[in-house]
Amino acid sequence: MKIKKQWNIKQVDTLFKTSFIELMFHAQIVHRKNFNPNIIQISTLLSIKTGSCPEDCKYCPQSARYKTDIKKEHLLNITKILKAAYDAKKSGSTRFCIGAAWKNPADKDIPYLENIIKKVKKIGMETCMTLGSLTKYQAKKLSQAGLDFYNHNLDTSPKYYHKVITTRSYQERLDTLKNVRDSGMKICSGGIIGLGEKTEDRKELLLQLANLPQPPESVPINMLVQIKGTPLEKIEKIDSFEFIRIVAIARIMMPQSYIRLSAGRNQMNEEMQAMCFMAGANSIFYGCKLLTTSNPKKIEDFKLFKKLGLTFENNLLLNNKHTFQRQLFSKTINEVNNKYYNADI
């Protein structure tokens, strides 16, 4: 059995101090060793219950504590959910993600969620949910229904966390991730960059994620979207190169995880997105909206992917990718060794 690498803060600090060009080169090598760099995994995210959330996350327009323009919606009926899933599959998505603005689901809601999972699975898509904290019982029930992934972000470092959220502890988030992993589901967990945190907080966030007993299979890296009415609406925006650096370091620290370029893409130009893909991002949310936040239009993503020569991951590629990855990596490394010195730090 391969022993998982345990990262320490000194090693992470070294990555943060590495020049941008060297860091990108190293991230590319790691990425090509584990994935086809020309293939992007596509997910679609749907909010099935919007607004009136009791949490006080300072970045979120769905909190009942803030006055935002969010239109509140009760739990969607399954017909609307399945239509959205069918549309997502037709558009090229392989995973259908469902979000609900809860602190945690009630046990009485679990049968309805189980039914959604089973019906979406029959369409032929992977399933993911983000519903807040989960108990062991709830995680087990969702897993038994066939839920593939559960999303529960750590958001930021343990030290900075209380400045962003006070209604849920950091340990609660870690406990939910443990319940998810113990149930047999895969984990989707990442963070938000640009909350006002310092570089040290970004290091600690990545350290927390990479040093979980098993790193998340999916790691969404979000750039804060400043929403009017939330406490962070006027916070200073993060520098583009700093954000790309986070993506590259996440790729290096979690080499076999899908790194998702998540919220904030609508604020990025094509060049910035392209550099994020070069840094190792290989997953996106596809569609005009992420829960309540705007996202690039599908046609814009299609045009960008065409310019970059990127293609959607599909079932055929999923079945054959490991053989292709080994062949591609072997060819790439030989070419690199012939042309450049070894910058694999």
Nearest alpha-carbon partner for 13 in 198, 173, 164 = 198
Nearest alpha-carbon partner for 84 in 130, 109, 119, 55 = 119
Cα 135 from chain centre: 22
Nearest alpha-carbon partner for 272 in 223, 208, 226 = 223
Q: Per the structure block, which two tokens stand in for 103?
A: 């602190």
Looking at 128, 173, 245, 265, which residue is catalytic? 128
**DSSP letter string over 11-70?**
HHHHHHHS-HHHHHHHHHHHHHHHS-TTEEEEEEEEEEEBS-B----TT-TTBTTS---P
276 belongs to the catalytic site: no
Q: Is 276 within any annotated ligand binding site?
A: no
Cα 112 from chain centre: 25
| Diameter of the chain measured on Cα atoms | 62
216 and 189 in contact (C-beta within 8 Å)? yes
Looking at 53, 168, 173, 245, which residue is catalytic? 53
65 belongs to the catalytic site: no
Q: Is 128 within any annotated ligand binding site?
A: yes
- E-only strand ranges, the chain: 39-49, 95-100, 126-130, 149-151, 186-188, 191-193, 218-223, 258-261, 283-285, 289-290, 293-294, 311-312
Q: Per the structure block, which two tokens stand in for 234?
A: 């006027």
Looking at 32, 173, 245, 260, which residue is catalytic? 260
260 belongs to the catalytic site: yes
Distance between CA atoms of residues 249 and 150, nearest Å? 23
Distance between CA atoms of residues 216 and 208, nearest Å? 11
How far, CA to CA in Å, does 261 sit from each of 191, 220, 285?
Answer: 11, 6, 8
Looking at 32, 97, 168, 265, which residue is catalytic? 97
From the CB of residue 92, how many other CB atoms can be counted at a distance below 10 Å?
18
Q: Is 288 within any annotated ligand binding site?
A: no
Looking at 32, 60, 202, 265, which residue is catalytic? 60
Looking at 32, 57, 245, 251, which residue is catalytic? 57
Looking at 32, 168, 173, 188, which residue is catalytic? 188
181 belongs to the catalytic site: no
Could you list the residues known to form a binding site, using ranges.
Answer: 53, 57, 60, 97, 128, 188, 260
Could you list the residues known to form a binding site for [4Fe-4S] cluster, using ranges.
Answer: 53, 57, 60
Could you list the residues known to form a binding site for [2Fe-2S] cluster, using ranges.
Answer: 97, 128, 188, 260
Catalytic residue annotation: 53, 57, 60, 97, 128, 188, 260
